[in-house]
Amino acid sequence: MNAPLSPPSPYSSPTSRSNVETHTLAVLVDNEPGVLARVVGLFSGRGYNIESLTVAEVAHGEHLSRITVVTSGTPETIEQIQHQLERLVPVHKVTDLTVSARSLERELAMVKVRGKGEERNAALQLAEAFRARVVDATTESFIFELTGKPNKIDEFVDLMRPIGLVEVSRTGVAAISRGPDPI
């Protein structure tokens, strides 16, 4: 006699890559010591991955900060993350900006590229095509500043690799919903 099958747990079930989605969550929290550690602890304690994390105070008078987290998982896992975040004491609101197709995501990157001669010209031409600004230049290198969607920055970095990519610094995703309403 076969035992009845219990529903699969999102913690133990193998995930097929086709079922994994990437979501951007905006989390409004109290700006106080330890809040970020609690939010990150929720992710690490349950084995959820954080692909990008940004945090800044957004309402000084009310002592509120906004955490923007990019994470991935099955739809069930994303829903669990959202519900678990909502239960944390310093959290005021959690919004899945991916569900709302009316949101914008941008990231800032500084990209250092080494190059002389033809490589230098190629780097400048690519930078112009991507609307990257030169924020520092020496006779042997450039530092470009680039703002855009994360995949645009990925493409720029990949194209700079063969030219002489030295280093990349990225801010992480900043996201906001479109229209007159707040999150």
In 3D space, the residue among 175, 182, 157 whose CA is nearest the CA of residue 51 turns out to be 175
Q: Which of 12-26, 81-95, 101-115, 120-134 has the lowest mean pLDDT?
A: 12-26
Q: Is the pLDDT of residue 13 over 50?
A: no
- Cβ contact 28:64 at 8 Å: yes
Residue 81: pLDDT band (50, 70, 90) is: very high
Q: Is the pLDDT of residue 36 over 50?
A: yes
Compute the half-sphere exposure of residue 133: CA atoms within 13 Å on the CB side of its CA.
Answer: 6
- Cβ contact 85:151 at 8 Å: no
Rounded to whole angstroms, how far apart are CA atoms 9 and 114?
49
Q: Which of 3-12, 87-96, 133-142 has the lowest mean pLDDT?
A: 3-12
- Cβ contact 40:80 at 8 Å: no
Q: What residue ranges define each of the domains in the chain, with the CATH number in brackets?
A: 17-96 (3.30.70.260), 103-175 (3.30.70.1150)
Burial of 11 (0-12, 13-18, 19+ CB in 10 A): exposed
State the average pLDDT for the chain. 90
Report how far Cα 13 is from the mean position of its chain's Cα atoms.
Answer: 25
pLDDT at 5: 47
Residues 6+ apart with CB under 8 A from 77: 10, 15, 48
CA angle at residue 33 from 67 to 44, to 5 degrees?
Answer: 55
How do 64-73 and 21-30 pair as beta strands?
antiparallel
Residue 17: pLDDT band (50, 70, 90) is: low
pLDDT at 93: 95
Q: Is the pLDDT of residue 125 over 60?
A: yes
What is the distance between the terminal CA atoms of the chain, rounded to a whole angstrom?
52
pLDDT digits (tens, 9 = 90+) for 126-149: 999 999 999 999 999 999 999 999
- Cβ contact 147:159 at 8 Å: no
